[in-house]
Amino acid sequence: MSDLEETLVLVKPDGVARQLTGEVLRRIEAKGYEIVDLKMVTASRELLDSHYEEHQGKPFFEPLVEFMQSGPVVAVRVAGNGVIQGFRSLAGTTDPTSAAPGTIRGDLGRDWGLKVQQNLVHGSDSPESAARELALWFA
């Protein structure tokens, strides 16, 4: 049975700065997902306000948006069967401290003195989010 989806993956500024873009892309491709489109972006405040609209008003919103503007991010359109939840499985849980070994955040995330937002990657969390986010980042 085919469940072909597209999702938005972001390599966040910490991932780009730590030169882990290739490692993230390697894991996506090794799983069998297809990289359909890719670009490096320095995100505007407006883009990030829209991207993270579900988190507006939360205590971590401002630090998160500031962090996401601290350097370029790599935006990736990824296709594959069940890729929306599948990439989230590859990424691991939000906090790298507790993310499982074998995941991007579990293997590569660091927790000495770093904030939870510095968790290397973003992946859309539903078909609705994926469609909305892909339209924002690949307008």
List the catalytic residues. Answer: 122
Cβ 117 to Mg ion shortest distance, Å:
11
**Which CB, 28 or 64, lies closer to ligand RTP?**
64
- Sign (positive/negative) of CA torsion 119, 77, 125, 1? negative
In 34-138, where do the E strands start and end? 34-41, 73-81, 121-123
Select 3 or 54, whichever has its Cβ closest to ligand RTP: 54
**117 lies in the site for ligand RTP, by CB under 6 A:** yes
For 126, the token pair is: 């539903």
Binding partner selected for residue 70 from Mg ion, ligand RTP, none, CB under the kind-specific 5 to 8 Å limit = none
Q: How far is the CB of 80 from Mg ion (least distance, A)?
A: 19
Which residues on adjacent β-strands are paired with residue 123?
Answer: 9
| Contact flag: residue 64 with ligand RTP (CB under 6 A) | yes
Residue 116 within binding range of ligand RTP, rule CB under 6 A: yes
**Type and span of the H or E element at 130:** helix 127-137
Query: In the block, which residue shows the tokens 């205590």?
Result: 59
Write the CA distances from 9 to 1, 25, 113, integer angstroms.
Answer: 24, 10, 25
- Residues of this chain that interact with ligand RTP (CB under 6 A) are 60, 64, 94, 116-117, 119, 122-123, 125
Residue list, annotated binding site for ATP: 12, 60, 88, 94, 105, 119
